[in-house]
Amino acid sequence: MTHSSKAFYWMAVPALLLFVTLHTIPALTGVFFSLTDYAGYGKWTFVGLENYFSLFKDDRVLSSYSFTFLFAVTTTIIVNVLALAIAMLLNAKIRFQTAFRGIFFIPNVLAILIIGYVFNFIFSNSLPLLGQWAGIEWLSTSILANEDLAWLGIVAVSAWQSIAFSVILYLAGLQTIPADLYEAADLDGAGYWRQFRSITFPMIGAFFTINMVLALKGFLQAFDQIVALTGGGPGTSTESVAMVIFRGGFQGGEYGYQMANSVVYLLVIVAVSVIQLRTLQRKEADF
Binding region for other proteins (CB under 8 A): 37, 39-43, 50-51, 54, 57-60, 124-125, 128, 141-142, 144-147, 231-237, 239, 247-248, 250-254, 257
Could you say which DSSP state residue 36 is in? Answer: B
Least distance to other proteins from the beta carbon of 47, Å? 9
Neighbours of 81 (CB within 10 A): 13
Closest CB to other proteins among 125 and 281?
125
Least distance to other proteins from the beta carbon of 250, Å? 5
Report the alpha-carbon distance of residue 34 to residue 49 in Å, rounded.
Answer: 8
Least distance to other proteins from the beta carbon of 44, Å? 10
Report the alpha-carbon distance of residue 155 to residue 81 in Å, rounded.
Answer: 14
Closest CB to other proteins among 150 and 164?
150
Closest CB to other proteins among 50 and 224?
50
Least distance to other proteins from the beta carbon of 237, Å? 7
Quick one: residue 110, left, alpha or beta (phi over 0 = left, psi -120 to 50 = alpha)? beta
Query: Which residues, at least 6 apart from 73, have a Cβ–Cβ distance to it below 8 Å?
Result: 216
Least distance to other proteins from the beta carbon of 74, Å? 22
Closest CB to other proteins among 125 and 176?
125
Closest CB to other proteins among 42 and 189?
42
Closest CB to other proteins among 153 and 173?
153
Least distance to other proteins from the beta carbon of 117, Å? 12
Cis before 234 (ω within 30): yes
∠ CA 28-31-36 to the nearest 5 degrees?
130
What's the distance, CA 266 to chain centroid?
14
Helix 205-220 and helix 255-283, axial crossing angle in degrees, nearest 10:
170
